[in-house]
Amino acid sequence: MSKLLRLAAVTLLHAALLFTTLPARADDLPDFTALVDHYASAVVSISTTGKTEPANEDRTPHDKRLPNPFEGTPFEEPFRHFFDQRPEQRTPRSTPSSIGSGFIVSADGYILTNAHVVDGAERVTVGMNDRTEHVAEVVGSDPRSDIALLKIQAKDLPTVKIGDSDALRVGQWVLAIGSPFGFESSATVGIVSAVGRSLPTDNYVPFIQTDAAVNPGNSGGPLFNRSGEVIGVNSQIYSRSGGYQGLSFAIPIKVAMNVAEQLKTRGRVARGWLGVLIQEVTPDLAKSFGLDRPRGALIGQVMDDGPGAKNGLKAGDIVLEFDGHAISRSGELPPLVGASSPGKEATLQIFRDGAQTQIKVQIGELPDDVAVNGRSAASGEAHGLGLEVTELPAEQRTQGDSGVVVREVRSGPAQSAGIRTGDVIVRVNNQAITGPAQFATVIRQLPRGKPVAVLIRRDDNALFLPLTLPE
Active site residues: 116, 146, 219
Cα(299)–Cα(280) distance, rounded to whole angstroms?
9
User: Does 218 belong to an annotated binding site?
Assistant: yes
User: Does 364 belong to an annotated binding site?
Assistant: no
DSSP, collapsed to helix, strand or coil, labels residue 282 as coil
Length reported for the chain: 471
User: Does 217 belong to an annotated binding site?
Assistant: yes
Phi-psi map region of 2: left, alpha, beta (phi>0 left; psi -120 to 50 alpha): beta
Cα(66)–Cα(89) distance, rounded to whole angstroms?
19
Cα(442)–Cα(385) distance, rounded to whole angstroms?
12
- Judge whether 319 and 296 are in contact, CB under 8 Å: yes
What are the phi and psi torsion angles at 254 (to 5°)?
A: -60, -45
Cα(200)–Cα(313) distance, rounded to whole angstroms?
24
User: Does 146 belong to an annotated binding site?
Assistant: yes
Strand partners, 299: 278
User: Does 449 belong to an annotated binding site?
Assistant: no
- Judge whether 416 and 407 are in contact, CB under 8 Å: no
- Residue 174 to residues 110, 224, 340, Cα–Cα distance (Å): 24, 5, 28
* Residues placed in the known binding site for substrate: 116, 146, 217-219
Residue set of the binding site:
116, 146, 217-219
